[in-house]
Amino acid sequence: LFESVELAPRDPILGLNEQYNADTRAGKVNLGVGVYYDDQGRLPLLQAVRKAEMARIEAAAARGYLPIEGIPGYNKAAQTLLFGQGSELLASGRVLTAQSLGGTGALKIGADFLKQLLPESKVVISDPSWENHRALFERAGFTVDTYPYYDAESHGLNFSGMLQSLQALPPQTIVLFHACCHNPTGVDPTFEQWQQIVEVVKAKNLVPFLDIAYQGFGDGLEEDASVVRLFAQHDLTMLISSSFSKSFSLYGERVGALTLVSSSKEESTRVLSQLKRVIRTNYSNPPTHGGTVVSTILNTPELYTLWTEELAGMRDRIRAMRTQLVQKLKDHGIQQDFDFVLKQRGMFSYSGLTAAQVDRLRDEYGVYAVSSGRICVAALNSGNLDHVAASIAKVLA
The nearest distance, CB 286 to ligand PMP, in angstroms, is 12
Q: Which is nearer to ligand PMP, 247 or 391 (CB)?
A: 247
Integer Cα distance of 235 and 229 in angstroms: 10
Which one of the listed residues 51, 108, 246, 328 is annotated catalytic? 246
Q: Which region, judged by CB under 6 A, interacts with ligand PMP, from 96-104, 168-176, 268-276, 305-313? A: 96-104
Q: Which region, judged by CB under 6 A, interacts with ligand PMP, from 16-24, 38-46, 100-108, 265-273? A: 100-108
Integer Cα distance of 366 and 346 in angstroms: 24
The nearest distance, CB 250 to ligand PMP, in angstroms, is 9
Considering the rule CB under 6 A, would residue 374 count as an interface residue with ligand PMP?
no
Integer Cα distance of 247 and 357 in angstroms: 31
Residue 130 bears catalytic tag = yes
- For ligand PMP, the binding residue among 32, 70, 102, 110 (CB under 6 A) is 102
Q: Which is nearer to ligand PMP, 34 or 366 (CB)?
A: 34
Considering the rule CB under 6 A, would residue 349 count as an interface residue with ligand PMP?
no
Integer Cα distance of 343 and 306 in angstroms: 28
Asked if 256 contacts 249 with a C-beta cutoff of 8 angstroms, the reply is no
3-class SS at 208?
A: strand
Instruction: Label residues 348-371 b or e (16+ Cβ within 10 Å = b).
Output: bbbbbbeeebbebbbeebbbbbbb
Backbone angles phi, psi at 238, to 5 degrees: -160, 175
Q: Which is nearer to ligand PMP, 125 or 396 (CB)?
A: 125
- By CB under 6 A, how many residues form the interface with ligand PMP? 12
| The amino acid at 197 | I
Give the residue from 37, 35, 30, 36 showing the smallest Cα distance to 15.
30
Instruction: For the segment 121-180, give every residue that binds ligand PMP (CB under 6 A).
Output: 130, 178
Q: Is the peptide bond prior to 171 cis by the omega test (within 30 degrees of 0)?
A: no
The nearest distance, CB 189 to ligand PMP, in angstroms, is 15
Q: Which is nearer to ligand PMP, 13 or 390 (CB)?
A: 13
Integer Cα distance of 90 and 191 in angstroms: 23
Give the residue from 380, 352, 393, 372 showing the smallest Cα distance to 16.
372
Considering the rule CB under 6 A, would residue 243 count as an interface residue with ligand PMP?
yes
Asked if 253 contacts 71 with a C-beta cutoff of 8 angstroms, the reply is no
Q: Which region, judged by CB under 6 A, interacts with ligand PMP, from 50-58, 59-67, 97-105, 315-323? A: 97-105
Backbone angles phi, psi at 60, to 5 degrees: 45, 50
- For ligand PMP, the binding residue among 213, 260, 306, 370 (CB under 6 A) is 213
The nearest distance, CB 45 to ligand PMP, in angstroms, is 17
Residue 246 bears catalytic tag = yes
Which one of the listed residues 51, 112, 115, 130 is annotated catalytic? 130
Considering the rule CB under 6 A, would residue 211 count as an interface residue with ligand PMP?
yes
Considering the rule CB under 6 A, would residue 379 count as an interface residue with ligand PMP?
no
Considering the rule CB under 6 A, would residue 247 count as an interface residue with ligand PMP?
no
Q: Which is nearer to ligand PMP, 29 or 347 (CB)?
A: 347
Instruction: For the segment 248-287, give every residue that binds ligand PMP (CB under 6 A).
Output: 256
| The amino acid at 27 | G
Q: Which is nearer to ligand PMP, 49 or 326 (CB)?
A: 49
Integer Cα distance of 267 and 257 in angstroms: 19
Considering the rule CB under 6 A, would residue 183 count as an interface residue with ligand PMP?
yes
Burial class (CB in 10 A: 0-12, 13-18, 19+), 235: exposed
Give the residue from 292, 244, 231 showing the smallest Cα distance to 89.
231
Q: Which region, judged by CB under 6 A, interacts with ligand PMP, from 99-107, 226-234, 367-375, 380-388? A: 99-107
Geometric angle at alpha carbon 369, from 134 and 358, rounded to 5°: 110
Residue 194 bears catalytic tag = no
Instruction: For the segment 24-53, give every residue that binds ligand PMP (CB under 6 A).
Output: 34
CA atoms within 13 A on the CB side of 272: 21
Q: Which residues bind ligand PMP (CB under 6 A)?
A: 34, 102-104, 130, 178, 183, 211, 213, 243, 245, 256
Residues with a known catalytic role: 130, 211, 246
